[in-house]
Amino acid sequence: MSRMSVLLLALSFALPAAAQEKTVRFLVGFPAGAGLDTMTRLVAEKMRVRLGQPVVVENRPGAAGQIAMSALKAAPADGLTLVMTPLVTVVTAPQVFAKLPYDAFADFTPVAHTANFLFAFGVGPAVPASSLADYVSLVKRDVKFGNYASAGAGSLPHFFSLLFADTAGISLNHIAYKGTAPALTDLLGGQIAAFIGTASDVATQHKAGRLRVLATSGARRARELPEVPTFRELGFNIEGSGWYAAYAPAKTPPETVDRLASAIVEAIKSPDVREKLEALGMEPTGLGPAALARIHKSDYDKWGPVIKASGFKLAN
């Protein structure tokens, strides 16, 4: 055998091992430092150990997550590019934007459902309502108290509040802010009456007495706000939650998806990661591809009629 043949044979055996050492990129379509980013970095570190290869997090913020999702769509289906995303990019965005650069079902492969999070509805210190019933009565008497904020138009908290308004028989006026911080600033300053966002966004201010959370959105009370009743407990037959999940490009081989899913689920279920996520107001789940696919389709169908009835649309 020639020297060149020996070299080629050696390289052919080395290729699979080399491929295993390639870096996995976890794209996040939102800024660094937020809960989603923190969770992804915790998961990435566990995956690095489990998979025996580098796993890095790349923040691609902008366009409500669309930039990261577009990058995932364009990536090779080789298991080296993933996205960790909230449901907004795959459930609400496809139903509110006139045109998206991706198809939420056709362009991506579900990998793992990682965590749920609940919403909380609260009022500012100048609003004379100590309960949700008080607030409903107040809005019926004076529409100015129906001015409320969320951290963004077309978000799930936005549509959950529409569901609440319809159930309560009141008119609410949604004011979209570019993020939670400016919305809470105006809430505490009395510029707006109410706010809806994730329970973890308002728990600290509620406990300090600077605002009052009147209800949370889950089937059970929020871990960080155990003293606050759910909408269902208060007689409003509604519930909803947000979630985070990992996706790969469409046509990623099933065996590759299963390998990645196993590593992510193991990471989410590890005691130290679970403890840190719960401290951030998340409910760790750790569910595989089939479960994520079911949840994605179920929530898409659940919120579709609410979004359609609202008539809300966004231009790209």
Q: In the chain, what are the domain boundaries?
A: 11-116+241-310, 118-216
Lowest mean pLDDT among 32-36, 157-161, 209-213, 248-252: 32-36
> What pLDDT, on the 0 to 100 scale, is given for residue 315?
76
Mean pLDDT, all residues of the chain:
91
pLDDT given at position 27: 98
The CA-CA-CA angle for residues 151, 212, 236, to 5°, reads 80
H or E segment and range at residue 116 = strand 108-123
Spatial distance between the Cα atoms of 147 and 56, rounded to a whole number of angstroms: 42
Three-state DSSP class for residue 162: helix
Averaged pLDDT, 216-242: 95
pLDDT band at 20 (very low <50, low <70, confident <90, very high): low
11-116+241-310 and 118-216, same CATH topology: yes
Report in angstroms the alpha-carbon separations of 128 from 107, 123, 137.
48, 9, 11
Fold of 118-216: D-Maltodextrin-Binding Protein; domain 2 (3.40.190)
Q: Check residue 1 and give its pLDDT.
A: 47
Give the CATH number of domain 11-116+241-310: 3.40.190.150
Lowest mean pLDDT among 8-17, 132-141, 228-237: 8-17
Q: Are 28 and 59 in contact (CB under 8 A)?
A: yes
Residue 10 has pLDDT above 60, yes or no: no
Q: How far is Cα 248 from Cα 81, in angstroms, rounded to an integer?
A: 7
**Residue 6: pLDDT above 80?**
no
**Sorting pLDDT into bands at 50, 70 and 90, what band is 98?**
confident
CA distance 46 to 263: 8
20 by Cβ neighbours in 10 Å (0-12 / 13-18 / 19+) ranks as exposed
pLDDT band at residue 3 under the 50/70/90 scheme: low
Are the C-beta atoms of residues 246 and 69 closer than 8 Å to each other?
no
pLDDT band at 155; cut points 50, 70, 90: confident
